[in-house]
Amino acid sequence: MVASAPGKVTLFGEHAVVYGYPAIVASIDKRIYVSAELREDDKIRINAQDLRTSGVIVSISNGEIQITTDYGKTLSAIGYLNRSIELTSEYLGVRKGVSLEVRSEMPVGAGLGTSAAVSVATIAAYSTCLGYELSKDEIAKLGWEVEKSVQGIASPMDTSIATFGGVLKIWFEGSTVYRVPLKVSNELPLVVAYVEREKSTKDMVMLVRNLREKHPDLINGILEHIGKTTLEAEKALAEGNLQEVGTLMNINHGLLEALGVSSRRLNEVVYTARVAGALGSKLTGGGGGGASIALTLPDNINVLTNVLKLVTPHVFKTSIQYEGVRVTVSQ
């Protein structure tokens, strides 16, 4: 059994979505694949080569060599797999051992929704192995529970888009999630560029939470403005007014910066994109390093990609891919 789920870019509204404001999110043409096979015993075995981050960091200080790794990131990705199995077992009332193999077409933990894609694909693969066909609503709901339980605080945005795919306007009140599929009248030529992640999504969500507790009026005002930017962007997307979409992306990035979730390296990428002719650019996802997106006219996409490669080696073109979670039976 192989299930796959797409990664995503948040076009508008990350962080504000955690506080009930709307966000616009799109699934991309890069996926996470989880294959699952039931075992005779009750163990969970995970083979997740691609979830390993490259990170062996060698630093020399006062003549001493120090070697550290990014192993923590691998462990956190495995946390999502594990929790997905536990919650699916609880939900279905059945527990069986399973061997899982995970493959990723995109960088993990960069802000492209890989943890949600891992969770959603794992829930779909495992439940199908157990003989159940969960609805997309059920998968998205379980996926959100996994994210909340691993991260402590999470919106339903990433798990919704990994499940349903497409372009969604999304917000929630309590446990009710609202998802409106958006018609985007133009192709959206996007370039993703990412830099080393200094902080996790969880760290950044906590940072905003603490800042909001200290400065409620200011931070609530910024979050509200992000929500308004999202609503204006919805109109611009429907009209196919890419110039306006780009301007609103720039405004959104400024507001995210005011929340303190960008970083020097991320800003470097975001501003380089604008110099290289992007209509707009912003960080995407949790921030603290990680991914940015730049929107461009199709005839400028190669120039934009090449210029961004001068600032970071991690650059790729992407487009919206409408398919959400998919399960196939392997031979």
Residues near ligand PMV (CB under 6 A) = 14-15, 17-18, 111-113, 115, 154-155, 157-158, 201, 205, 285-286
In the complex, minimum distance from the CB of residue 224 to ligand PMV, in angstroms, rounded to a whole number: 15
Looking at the Cβ atoms of 204 and 276, the one nearer to ligand PMV is: 204
195: tokens are: 């830099």
Looking at the Cβ atoms of 28 and 98, the one nearer to ligand PMV is: 28
In the complex, minimum distance from the CB of residue 330 to ligand PMV, in angstroms, rounded to a whole number: 28
Please report the beta strands in 70-114, taking only residues with DSSP state E, as ranges in sequence order: 98-104
98: tokens are: 């399973």
In the complex, minimum distance from the CB of residue 167 to ligand PMV, in angstroms, rounded to a whole number: 16
- Alpha carbons 176 and 162: distance in angstroms, whole number: 18
Q: Contact, 77 vs 48, CB < 8 A? A: yes
Looking at the Cβ atoms of 96 and 199, the one nearer to ligand PMV is: 199
The helix (run of H) or strand (run of E) holding residue 34 is: strand 23-38
Looking at the Cβ atoms of 202 and 280, the one nearer to ligand PMV is: 202
Q: Tell me 180's DSSP state.
A: E
Catalytic residue among 42, 50, 70, 158: 158
Q: Contact, 125 vs 328, CB < 8 A? A: no
Count Cβ atoms below 10 Å from residue 152 Cβ, excluding itself. 11
Looking at the Cβ atoms of 128 and 230, the one nearer to ligand PMV is: 230
In the complex, minimum distance from the CB of residue 162 to ligand PMV, in angstroms, rounded to a whole number: 10
Q: Contact, 157 vs 17, CB < 8 A? A: yes
Active site residue 158: yes
Longest CA pairwise span in the chain (Å) = 60
Q: Contact, 289 vs 170, CB < 8 A? A: no
- Alpha carbons 218 and 260: distance in angstroms, whole number: 13
In the complex, minimum distance from the CB of residue 146 to ligand PMV, in angstroms, rounded to a whole number: 12
Q: Mind telling me the catalytic residues?
A: 158
